[in-house]
Amino acid sequence: MQKYTYDPLHLFIDGAWLEAGSRDTSAVINPATGATLGRLPLATPADLDAALKAADRAFETWRQTVPAERARILKGAAELMRKRSVHIATLMTLEEGKPLSESVDEVLRAADYFEWFAEEARRIDGRVVASNRPGVQQLVKRQPIGPVAAFTPWNFPAITPARKLSAALAAGCSVILKPGEESPATALALARCLDDAGLPKGVLQIVFGVPDMVSAHLIASPVIRKVAFTGSIPVGRLLSERAAAGVKPITLELGGHGPVLVFDDADIDAAAIGGAANRFRGTGQICISSTRFLIQRNAYERFVERFLAKTRELVVGDGLAPDTQVGPLANPRQLAKMEALVADALAQGAKLLAGGKRMDRPGYFFEPTVLAEVPMSARIMHEEPFGPIAVLRPFDQLDDGLAEANRLPYALSAYAFTRDARTAIDVGDRLQAGMIGINQYRIVATELPFGGMKESGHGSEGGTEGIGHYLTNKFISQA
Ligand code: NAD
């Protein structure tokens, strides 16, 4: 295979690209081969203080930079991301493992968020409210909330930073971002585009470190006025508590266990073939992935047959190989978790229809796995798998299917397949999820709000809703 180069890794603080020097470092591993790609500098408390100081200072000038200028810089960065998309995507595939075509798609979608929010910057408005007192003018202004601490995971190393950075920077906030330590070069490459497009120094800092130390340090600082996190529910809960101690708002996107309701009258082949492709995309490490397939009794047999046929066709391999459709898991923790979930389900009486074990090759590969007739007592019926395992179960009546779909505390994405308009309206209304796909699996778009309900989090990113979390209301009543 062709030799690919990986970018050097830095911290980015107050406009400076800092090398490891005497700092501790952690290894970044290629999950397809197990090879070390580079060493990541980990921020010290002094680095975090420098980042806070820079974000505090730069906020004062960035908030006063006119929206058209902020928009010009964000659009410039989007253009650079597009020009550099193959390079950035290659970094992403090397460090995260997904197929290169999906990495390119992710970088282009990240660029689209910067363009969208550049335009939103120009549409920030307020109100003039009629006063009940003669001669009094009442203005409602929306102003940037202040410096933001943002935390993003390893699975979507371009799009999760992009959703936060684009909206926060457009609103006029400065940001300290801590991306996932397992896939750091992608976020650094996005920051490089912003730097090259003319983002003033100090407006954005990128730090890495021991995640718990970094979040405790940043969120406790009075400089930080807003927190945003994408990741697991336990960590989201912890960061919520830290934010609450300083009475700071937090946006949370915390994963899901996406149900798919397939009704007897649906296009069963589309639901099954698209379902298998969707389930194993990103090696199942996607928070809005379809994970629990609930199939109405008469369609069950055909669905299972088509789903299995598609699963068996999938080409698993290194994301840099042109025919790869499913890459490795991102880290060994995920591998151990898949093994534990499968062993538990089988011990409780589930049927293994495909896959079920790690693959005998270097890297963190796990076979696309299909489990049927999984008892409700199995862990996988309660825990987000976040890996390449699909669960198939039959249901009888619409109410039974909906009850199972809505049973868990997760409520991020849900899907339904039916040709009946009444059923489609009903499930769209009654499914508990922030994002719902009816007769389709690809549901995310820049112009739509991305976010969950219940324990999947709160606050939406993207769409016209996305910028509001980085703005605060102020009224001025003038006599
Ligand atoms: P994790 O919760 O330990 O880590 C997820 C991300 O949060 C990582 O990038 C990590 O750097 C960061 N993080 C962890 N502890 C932190 C802290 N105290 N302060 C600040 N940031 C912190 O989980 P993991 O083992 O990496 O992934 C496993 C689970 O996380 C999955 O099963 C899934 O449920 C969830 N997850 C969800 C998403 C999502 O898109 N919602 C993304 C990645 C992981």
Tell which residue, 157, 168, 146, 278, has the closest CA to residue 219: 146
Q: What would the mean pLDDT of 416-433 be, rounded to a whole number? A: 98
Q: What is the pLDDT of residue 33?
A: 97
Query: What percentage of residues in the chain have a pLDDT greater than 70?
Result: 100
The CA angle 4-367-272, to the nearest 5 degrees, is: 110
Q: Can you give the pLDDT at residue 4?
A: 83
**Out of 96, 115, 193, 287, which one is annotated catalytic?**
287
- What is residue 184's predicted lDDT score, i.e. its pLDDT? 98
Reply yes or no on whether the pLDDT at 219 is more than 70: yes
Strands, E, within 169-282: which ranges? 175-178, 204-206, 226-230, 250-253, 258-262
Average pLDDT of the segment spanning 13-37: 98
Query: For the whole model, what pTM was predicted?
Result: 0.97
Place 263 in a pLDDT band, splitting at 50, 70 and 90. very high
Q: Residue 399: pLDDT above 90? A: yes
- The whole-number average pLDDT for the span 296-320 is 98
Give the mean pLDDT of 74-79.
98
**Exposed, middle or buried by CB within 10 Å (0-12, 13-18, 19+), for 219?**
buried
Are 341 and 380 in contact by the 8 Å Cβ rule? The answer is yes
Question: Mean pLDDT across the stretch 59-82?
Answer: 98
For ligand 1, the distance from its centroid to the CA atom of residue 144, given in whole angstroms, is: 28
Q: How many residues does the chain have?
A: 479
CA of residue 408 to ligand 1 center, whole Å: 19
From residue 159, how far is each of 52, 148, 187, 254, 458 by CA, in Å? 24, 17, 9, 15, 18
As a whole-number percent, the residues of the chain with pLDDT over 90 amount to: 99
Binning pLDDT at 50, 70 and 90, where does residue 337 land?
very high
253 is catalytic: yes
- Assess whether pLDDT exceeds 70 at residue 1: no
pLDDT at residue number 2: 67
Mean pLDDT computed over 236-258? 97
Q: Atom of ligand 1 at shortest distance to CA of 182?
A: 9
pLDDT at 270 over 70: yes
How confident is the model over 166-196, as pLDDT tens digits?
Answer: 999 999 999 999 999 999 999 999 999 999 9
Q: Residue 256: what pLDDT? A: 96
pLDDT exceeds cutoff 90 at 218 = yes
Q: Is the pLDDT of residue 138 over 90?
A: yes
From first CA to last CA, the distance across the chain in angstroms is 73
Residue-wise pLDDT tens digits, 350-376: 999 999 999 999 999 999 999 999 999
- Which protein residues are within 6 Å of ligand 1, measured from CB? 151, 153-155, 180-181, 211-212, 215, 230-232, 235, 238-239, 253-255, 287, 333, 384, 386
- Which pLDDT does position 3 carry in this prediction? 74
pLDDT band for 289, please (50, 70, 90 cuts).
very high
pLDDT in tens, 28-49: 999 999 999 999 999 999 999 9
Question: From ligand 1's centre to the CA of 152, what distance in Å?
Answer: 8
Distance CA 243, CA 218 (A): 10
* Residues 105-122 pLDDT 10s: 999 999 999 999 999 999
* Average pLDDT rounded to a whole number, residues 321-326: 97
Mean pLDDT of the region 239-251: 98
Kindly report the average pLDDT of the chain as a whole number: 97
Residue holding tokens 């945003």?
A: 228
Mutation test residue for ligand 1: of 176, 235, 339, 408, the one with most atoms within 8 Å of CB = 235
Assess whether pLDDT exceeds 80 at residue 394.
yes
Atom of ligand 1 nearest to the CA of 286: 40
pLDDT for 242 equals 98
